[in-house]
Amino acid sequence: MSETTVLLTIALMIGGGVLFGRLAKFCHLPNVTGYIVAGLILGPCMLNLISANSVEHLGIIATVSLGFIAFSIGNEFKISFFKRVGKAPIVIACLESLFAVLCVLIALVVADLIFGLTLDLPAMLVLSAIAAATAPAATIMVIKQYKAKGPMTETLLAVVAIDDATAIMLFGIFVAIAQMLTGQGDSSIAMQLLKPVWEIFGGIICGFILGLVFAIPLRWFKKDGNRLILTIGFIFLALGLADVIGVSDLLMCMAMGAALANFSTEFVHIAKLCDGFTPPLFLLFFVASGAELDVSVLPTVGIVGAIYVIFRVIGKYVGAYTGSVICHSAEPVKKYLGPALVPQAGVAIGLSLIATQVVPAYGAQIRAIILCGTLIYELVGPAVAKWSLSKAGEISGK
């Protein structure tokens, strides 16, 4: 892919994103919906002005964008925040993830007994486990666009952050069970869980240490330019290091942001600098995400795909509601948090690739279902998130 092609593709993505973002605003939809639709129309699935090869070569945009998103979420995790909200986000995140997995699994088992599905139990376990994953990017963009504030927004930010850890852990457990049923891997579930445990806690610990290190040079570098350079450098370092040592890059960047928020008084200034730098990056990320969507998978997923798409949403809602009731959360949190957890994208697609190795006979079918779910969730999710925040009374401007 030539340098000229890259530049022209990026220019087309920016132009298309801006145009469709404006059209989305006229339709009272979040900008991110317009960006995704722009990518879908310009991408290989329709006009093919953005080729599949181009999207693949621009993959680093997605990695860097998610790094900045995770870092910004971490900035919200001050000790004072957890003193105020208590254990609620942790309980809600665990239950909404677990209920999503169980709802999909139970629905698949029942449907298999009634209709006779094409999946066996190990494949059902692996597919169900992916239902736990939630994509924070679209939700964060909606919160930023509409300047949402309040208990619902605070809880939502915390839940989508913790969700990454709970999804990885649940996937590890269910994959271990599936491998035992198929006779693969180590018979000890404990041994199978070591990888996701390291992926979660290794990322948190290393990211926290990196955040403490990041705070040191901020004492001497006061100019905006220098501080922005440092921020970009440390986020790139976190993303690269996470890949080298095999931990979650999202959790690592998140922990780095949390450490900075708690141990440096400069974190507010850094957050403002990031807000000024990231809009074009996020636009490119969502346009690229839209270009990756493939509507041709819709007719291939059948009843299994319909069960996954519908019952994952039901599980997220019931789990979030149950967790909110247990923790005595505010009424808007109980009613509207669940629908805001609909988006699903990158993490789920990554887990579907692992699924092809665990249950190779069903790998193509599972991947098609996840891609179909991603298409639906990413197109509908931002609008649902806006609706949830609006009904909760936490959107100050439109």
Res. 268 pLDDT band, cuts 50 70 90: confident
Q: Is there a domain that residue 267 lies in? A: yes
Above 80 in pLDDT, residue 227?
yes
What's the CATH number where 234 sits?
Answer: 1.20.1530.20
Instruction: Report, as an integer, the average pLDDT of 232-248.
Output: 92
Give 188-201 pLDDT, tens digit per residue.
555 566 777 888 88
23 falls within a domain: no
What pLDDT digit, counting tens, does each position of 80-117 carry?
A: 777 777 788 889 999 999 999 999 999 999 988 887 77
Percent of the chain with pLDDT over 70: 95
How far from 352 is each of 20, 45, 99, 302, 359, CA to CA, in Å? 30, 21, 19, 18, 10
Q: What percent of the chain has pLDDT over 90?
A: 26
pLDDT value for 256: 93
Q: Are 34 and 24 in contact (CB under 8 A)?
A: yes
Structure pTM?
A: 0.80
Six token digits for residue 44: 């290989």
Residue 361 lies in a domain: yes
Residue 220 belongs to a domain? yes
What does the pLDDT read at residue 184?
62
Output 75-78 pairs: Cβ under 8 A, ≥24 positions apart.
75/257, 75/258, 75/260, 75/261, 75/267, 75/270, 75/271, 76/154, 76/157, 76/158, 76/161, 76/261, 77/158, 77/161, 77/254, 77/257, 77/258, 77/261, 77/262, 78/258, 78/261, 78/262
pLDDT at 222: 85
Residue 79 lies in a domain: yes
pLDDT band at residue 305 using 50, 70 and 90 as cut-offs:
confident
Q: Does 290 map to a domain? A: no
Q: Mean pLDDT of all residues in the chain? A: 85
Between CA 340 and CA 146 the distance in angstroms is 14
> In Å, what is the CA distance from 143 to each residue of 138, 146, 155, 292, 298?
9, 6, 12, 24, 29
Give the range of the structural domain holding residue 244, as residue numbers without chain letter: 63-279+298-391
Give dist(CA 312, CA 87) in Å, integer. Answer: 24
User: Regarding predicted confidence, which is higher, 163 or 230?
Assistant: 230
Q: Is residue 118 assigned to a domain?
A: yes
Instruction: State the Cα–Cα distance between residues 172 and 158, nearest whole angstrom.
Output: 22
Residue 185: the pLDDT is 56
For 15-24, 165-174, 222-231, which range has the lowest pLDDT when averaged over its residues?
A: 165-174
- pLDDT of 294 reads 76
Asked, for residue 51, whether it belongs to a domain, the answer is no
What is the spatial distance between Cα 29 and Cα 346, in angstroms, rounded to a whole number?
22
Number of CB atoms found within 10 A of residue 323's CB: 29
Would you say residue 233 has pLDDT above 90? yes
| Cβ atoms of residues 342 and 137 within 8 Å | no
- State the Cα–Cα distance between residues 126 and 190, nearest whole angstrom: 18
Q: pLDDT digit string (tens) for 320-358?
A: 999 999 998 889 899 999 998 888 776 777 777 777 777
Q: What digits encode the pLDDT tens for the residues 13-68? A: 999 999 999 998 888 888 888 888 898 899 888 888 888 888 778 778 888 888 88
Number of independent structural domains in the chain:
1
How confident is the model at residue 100, as a pLDDT? 93
Work out the burial of residue 109: count CB atoms within 10 Å of its CB; fewer than 13 is exposed, 13-18 middle, 19 or more buried: middle
